[in-house]
Amino acid sequence: MELTDTMNTYMKYASMDRTKFLGPTSLEEQAYCEWFAAEVFSGRGEIVELGSWLGSLTVSTARGLALNTLAQPNCRIIQTYDLFRWNVGFEDWVKGTPYEQRFRPNESFRTLYEEIIAPYRTGASIVVHQEDLSRSKWDGTPIEFLINDAWKTVPIMANIIDNFFPSLLTGSVVFHQDYLWVTESQIQIAMFLLRDYFEFPSRIENSCGVAFRKTRDIDQEIISDLAARASYLDFSNEEIEAAFQWSRSLFDDPEAQLVVDGAKGWMLGAIGEIDRARSVFQDIKGSEHREHWFYKFQEDILRQWGYDYLMD
């Protein structure tokens, strides 16, 4: 099945009689993972999920694998990775659920993850890795579908590109769950630098998620270059300018373009270019689309996190 020909069919999984799984992933993102696992995944490589948290995409993918008729049963495997250390911010997502106040900061919540995914192991083999993704290694097994919700830092990004990306099959898909999230804008820079090796099939509706399809082998020189990045300061001004201009060109939706602009402003602030960052956010203020919920929510979060000085 050609991915670019069937991209919008994942929405039928969102319209099914189903409950959104707990976590900061949208119903559409969950439907996309279920659709891919059910209708596109062939078993040529493995499914790898980076940053599984409470398993909303794990169980969606497992549900899809249970419906899959393309892959042999012994190929229906999901390799999931997470540090499984509780963060005080996680409480916002479990408020009002039985999981509220179950863990203290920095406690392992792997037992809860295992509890949540347990009913879905009948249709897929789920192999759980409790690891620091800035140091994780991959054994070289081909990868057909990579779900990424882990590139919260540059070292994690660099290590995943170094250790996992060489195993991506031609035709494989990398689903960046936070591509359009302003404070993870290193994802946009990395994909710009990898743009000659991927095509852009789709933005997932009502989400920050974007899927890229690998089109050819990645040169080792590019892998090594990205693997050597250790902080935001390792991105040059020229790369930042070119990356966000390219990323903006991928989207027709003005609210997505505004988030790209915001991501650029945030990155400029992260490398100490405060005046240039403020200039970007001043330009955003003049946009007629600034009040769109998709951009406005992210700006509000930036303010909550103390980045007012970039926007005022």
Q: Is the pLDDT confidence value at 5 over 50?
A: no
The amino acid at residue 311 is M
Residue 296 confidence (pLDDT) above 80: yes
Other Cβ atoms less than 10 A from the Cβ of 7: the count is 19
Least confident segment among 8-12, 159-163, 173-177: 8-12
Residue 192: the pLDDT is: 98
66-87 per-position pLDDT tens digit: 999 999 989 999 999 999 999 9
3-state secondary structure the chain: CCHHHHHHHHHHHHCCCCCCCCCCCCHHHHHHHHHHHHHHCCCCCEEEEECCCCCHHHHHHHHHHHHCCCCCHHHCEEEEEECCECCHHHHHHHCCCCCCCCCCCCCECHHHHHHHHHHHCCCCEEEEEECCCCCCCCCCCCEEEEEECCCCCHHHHHHHHHHCHHHEEEEEEEEECCCCCHHHCHHHHHHHHCHHHEEEEEECCCCCCEEEEECCCCCHHHHHHHHCCCCHHHCCHHHHHHHHHHHHHCCCCHHHHHHHHHHHHHHHHHCCCHHHHHHHHHHHHCCCCCCCHHHHHHHHHHHHCCCHHHHC
Give long-range contacts, CB 8 A cutoff, 24+ apart: 154-157.
154/186, 154/229, 154/230, 154/231, 154/232, 154/234, 155/230, 157/186, 157/187, 157/190, 157/226, 157/229
Q: What is the torsional sign of CA 68, 7, 79, 96?
A: negative
Question: How confident is the model at residue 21, as a pLDDT?
Answer: 79
Distances (CA, A) of 291 to 57, 239, 282, 285, 300: 29, 29, 14, 9, 11
Task: Please answer whether residues 49 and 65 qualify as being in contact, where contact means their C-beta atoms are separated by less than 8 angstroms.
Answer: no
Q: State pLDDT tens for residues 226-244.
A: 999 999 999 999 999 999 9
- Angle (deg, nearest 10), helices 293-304 and 254-270: 20
User: Lowest-confidence range among 5-14, 95-104, 111-120, 205-214?
Assistant: 5-14
Confidence of residue 20 (pLDDT cuts 50, 70, 90): confident
Express each pLDDT in 184-204 by its tens digit: 999 999 999 999 999 987 899
CA 170 to chain CA centroid, Å, is 20
Bridge partners, residue 212, by sequence: 174
Length of the chain: 312
pLDDT at 312 over 60: yes
Report the pLDDT value the prediction gives residue 214, as an integer from 0 to 100.
Answer: 97
| Confidence at 92, pLDDT banded by 50, 70, 90 | confident
Which pTM was predicted? 0.94
pLDDT single digits (tens) 279-291 = 999 999 999 999 9
Structure confidence at residue 308 (pLDDT): 94
* pLDDT level of residue 11 (50, 70, 90 thresholds): low
Can you give the pLDDT at residue 9? 75
CATH 3.40.50.150, applies to 3-227 = yes
Percent of the chain exceeding pLDDT 70 equals 94
| Terminal CA-CA length for the chain | 49
Cα(123)–Cα(169) distance, integer angstroms: 24
What are the φ/ψ torsions at residue 168 (nearest 5 degrees)?
A: -65, 125
Lowest-confidence region among 35-49, 89-103, 165-179 = 89-103
The predicted structure's pLDDT at residue 23: 80
Query: What dihedral do alpha carbons 159, 164, 166, 172 form, nearest 10°?
Result: -140
Could you tell me which residue, 119 or 6, shows the higher pLDDT? 119
Query: How many C-beta atoms lie closer than 10 Å to residue 19's C-beta?
Result: 7
- Over residues 20-41, mean pLDDT: 89
Mean pLDDT over the full length of the chain = 93
The percent of residues in the chain predicted with pLDDT above 90, rounded, is 84
Q: Are strands 210-214 and 143-148 parallel, antiparallel or unpaired?
A: unpaired
pLDDT of residue 15: 56
